[in-house]
Amino acid sequence: MISLTAEPVRLRALGVAVGLLALAAVDLDDPGQARAYYATAEQLVAALVETPATTIEGLKVKAEAVAWCCASRSDFGLGVTSSERVIASMLLDLLARGGGT
């Protein structure tokens, strides 16, 4: 069963970072800005995938990241697998909980 207690600080911090990145005013036509943006995004996605969600709050953070990854599909800079990797991580986290609701 997934706990309803507060999520570990790391996952919450990653969620805040994704939110800030989503709000960033980035000129994707500028190669330097685009590289920095996508490098940061890739690091965040990797950290989200590596960090298990053990609570509903943690799963919400990952779900919000999936929504952000899918919203960026029009520019394809995050690659076609970003959202799929976060979804797979969420499913593995649920499976690791050993059933229940």
More confident residue, 56 or 38: 38
pLDDT, residue 3, reads 45
Count of residues in the chain? 101
Weakest mean pLDDT among 14-28, 34-48, 70-84 = 70-84
DSSP string covering 41-84: HHHHHHHHHHS---BHHHHHHHHHHHHHHHHGGGT-TT-TTHHH
pLDDT, residue 75, reads 52
Domain coordinates in residue numbering, the chain: 9-96
In whole angstroms, what is the distance from residue 8 CA to residue 54 CA?
8
pTM: 0.67
Which pLDDT tens digit goes with each residue over 59-99? 888 888 887 777 655 555 556 677 777 787 877 787 677 65
